[in-house]
Amino acid sequence: MEEHDCISIFYPTSDCLQLGNSMFPSLRESHRTYVDKTQFISQWLRDGYLVTILLRPRRFGKTLALSTVHAFFTVDHPEYAALFEGTKVDSDTEAKRLQNQVPVIFLSFHSIEVKEPDEIRSAIARTIQEVYQDFLSSVPAGALDQKTKEELSVFSESSKSDMIAHSLRKIMKVMEKTYGQKVMVLIDEYDHVMYPLFQKPGWDEVCDLLRAFMEATFKDNSSLMKGLITGITAIGQGSIFSGFNHCGIADVQSGLFGDCFGFSQEEVDRLLEENHLEDSRALVKKWYDGYSFGQNRHMYNPWTMLNFIHDRRLGMFWANSGGTELLEHVIRSAPCRVMDEFLLLLFGKTLHRPLCGQLVMQDLPEDGASVYTLAVSTGYLSCEWDGKAGSSVQRMYRLRVANLECLTDLKQKIRRWYFGPSSEKSAAFR
C-alpha cells in the first residue's frame, strides 16, 4: 500500500512468523516475517566510535541486529548479499562497498547458563574455541602454514584465563593477514554471565577475566576495524570497561539507534493491518505502547508484538520471557527509603530523577539512582529527558512504568519479592 512505502516489512502474515529465531539469514531464506531494521548498519558505520556498547532490555532485537551486521559484512558468505535486496541498507552505497568484504568474529555469551566461576571460564573458552574452529574450517586452502594451524588448534575450553583474555587478539592478527582486511568483532550479551554472580564470591574473578578479555580485544588493537558489544546494562567503567574509555555507550537514554530497536507505532499498525488485526489497535496500544529510546517515543517490544499476532490475544509475553534475577535481588534487599519512593510508580506516578551512566553494582540496592537505572535497563520503566539538569551535570528524567503489561507484572513481582505472599501490605497491589 502506498502510504506504507517508507516501511519495509517482509512477508507480514502470522503464517510466516517464526518466534524465537534471531538469525537474519534463516529468517530471510525461509521467507519469515521480518521488520526491516537494516538502517542500523548505516547508523553504526557512521556513529564515530571504534567500539560501541549497545544496551537495550531483553527481547528488543539485539541478537538479530548482530546477526544482520554479520550477514552483511562477512567475507565468508557472499551469497548473503541477495538477502539484503530491497532493504533500507541496500540503498547505502558507502556501506555496500564493504558488503561481504570484511572478516567478522561473532561471539555470543547468551547461551552460557552456568553459575560457577570455573564453569563460566570454561564456557567462555568453549565459545571462543568455536570461533577458532569456524575460522580454520573456512579459511582458503594453503592460506595458513602448519605452525599457525597448530598454534590455533591448541586453544580449548581448558585454556587458562590469560590465554582466554588474549584469544581474540591472537586470531584477529591471523585473520587480518589471511584476508588482507581488518576485523570486525561482534560480542552479544556480554553481561549475561555476570548477573548470576551478583554479590557472590565469584563476581570479582569473572569480572577480572572479562576486563582483561575486553581490553586485549579492543584496546590499541591494530587488527580491529570496528567493534560492537551488546548487553542490558553498562557495568560501571571501574570494572569491565576500565581498560578502554574510548567506546560509545548507546543506552536507552541516548539518541543513538533510537529507531533500530523496538517497533514504532507505524510498524505496529502495519503488522496489525496485514494480519487483519487492525480492530485491536486501541487495546494493543493500551497494553504494550510506552517505550522511549532517545527522541523515539511510542515504541513497542518486538517479542510482545510478534507473540500477540501469533496468538491473536493479549498476553504477558515479554513479562514471562525471564531474565529478572538481578532486579529480584535488588527489590528483595532494597531499603525502605528507596522502595517507598519506587512504589509510587506502581500507582501511576511519574518521578523526576537522575540515572546512572554506568551501573555500579556496589551501589545496588542502596542507591536510588542505581535502582531506577536497573529498572529502566531491564525494561520495566520508560525514561524521557525532561530538558532539565539536576545537580552538577546530571540530567533529570521523567520515569514511569513503561506500559500496562509491565505494570501488571511489576505489581505481581514486587508483591511476591518485597512484601511476601502473606504480607498485609501486599493487598494494595492486588
Do 217 and 333 lie in a common domain? Answer: no
- Nearest CA to 189 among 329, 358, 328, 66? 66
**What's the pLDDT band for 339 if we cut at 50, 70, 90?**
confident
Q: Which of 226, 250, 274 is the last residue of a domain?
A: 250
Assess if residue 272 is contained within a domain.
Answer: no
pLDDT above 70 coverage of the chain, percent: 91
334 and 422 fall within a common domain: yes
Domain boundary, last residue among 250, 266, 286: 250
Q: What is the pLDDT of residue 399?
A: 95
Residue 317 lies in a domain: no
**pLDDT at residue 307 tops 60:** yes
Q: What is the DSSP string of 65-107?
A: HHHHHHHHHBTT-GGGGGGGTTSGGGG-HHHHTTTT-B-EEEE
The answer to the question of residue 281 being in a domain is no
Do residue 146 and residue 235 come from a single domain?
yes
Confidence band, pLDDT 50/70/90 cuts, at residue 183: very high
What residue numbers bound the domain in which 146 lies? Answer: 38-250
Number of compact structural domains in the chain:
2
Residue 21, all three cell numbers: 529465531
CA distance 270 to 49: 34
What order of strands is seen across the sheet that includes strand 351-354?
Answer: 351-354, 395-401, 381-389
Domain assignment of residue 363, yes or no? yes
CA 255, distance to chain mean position in Å, is 16
Contacts of 207 (CB under 8 A, 6+ apart): 194, 235, 239, 240
Q: Can you spell out the DSSP letters for 16-63?
A: G--TT---HHHHHHTT--EE--THHHHHHHTSS-SEEEEE--TTSSHH
Whether 92 maps to a domain, the answer reads yes
- Coil, helix or strand for 157? coil
- Does a structural domain hold residue 156? yes
Query: Of 228, 250, 272, which residue sits at a domain end?
Result: 250
* 98 and 201 housed in the same domain: yes
Average model confidence (pLDDT) across the chain:
89
pLDDT band for position 419 (50/70/90)?
confident
What is the SS3 assignment for 381?
Answer: strand
**Which amino acid belongs to residue 61?**
G
Q: Are residues 237 and 349 in the same domain?
A: no
Q: Nearest to residue 50, comparing CAs of 306, 247, 230?
A: 247
pLDDT at residue 90, as a whole number: 97
* Same domain, yes or no: 153 and 63: yes
Same domain? 229 vs 343: no
Tell me: do 203 and 73 sit in the same domain.
yes
Q: Report which DSSP code applies to 321.
A: G
Asked if residue 224 and residue 92 are part of one domain, the reply reads yes
Question: 240 and 328 in one domain?
Answer: no
Q: How far is CA 247 from the centre of its chain?
A: 16
Cβ(222)–Cβ(55) below 8 Å: no
In this prediction, residue 237 carries a pLDDT of: 45
Question: What's the whole-model pTM score?
Answer: 0.92
Query: pLDDT digit string (tens) for 229-282?
Result: 999 988 764 568 766 667 899 999 888 999 999 999 999 999 999 999 999 999
Tell whether 244 is covered by a domain: yes
Q: Is residue 95 part of a domain?
A: yes
> Do 331 and 211 fall into the same domain?
no
